[in-house]
Amino acid sequence: MTAGIHHVAFACRDAEATHRFYSKVLGFPLVHTELSRFGKGWFRHFFYDLGNGSSIAFFELHDVGEPTPPKTAISTDLGYPIWVNHVAVRVDRETQQRLAARVRDAQLNVVLEHDHGWCHSVYLRDPNGILVELCADHEGGMPVDLAEAERLRTVIPAWLASSP
């Protein structure tokens, strides 16, 4: 059994803008940075603490094979809607509201708010075009029904089957 996510890592377009967003706006502490040579280039790999031992990390790349211009939006640069590939951070409702206010105070946009029935989500776009979800579970959290999850994994919805 795993103990959860250690970290997720992404390329960034602008390391300073990324740092401002995660450390200053969201308040996630920068906890580790590495500098490494790679071929004829180099990269910086920096990590922000998300709590409970998990981190979100970014690569600032310099001549290691990155595209020009850099493509870092993990959904839209691949042709998907922005909400498809995203990072969801578990927060309580009070923290969610505080962070959303900090985003607005920094003159950044909350992309979307949505209540899923079992959690309330606030979606933000980071400077790299990555969607960050601040996810606050309602009491009881995500409903777990293994049999129903498995059934819905392969079922074709009736409303889809009857569409022309």
**What separation in angstroms does the CA of 3 have from each of 37, 52, 72?**
31, 10, 28
State pTM to two decimals: 0.90
Q: Structural domains in the chain?
A: 7-152 (3.10.180.10)
Which tens digits make up the pLDDT trace of 43-94? 999 999 999 999 999 999 999 999 999 999 999 999 999 999 999 999 999 9
Question: Considering the chain, what percentage of its residues have pLDDT values greater than 90?
Answer: 86
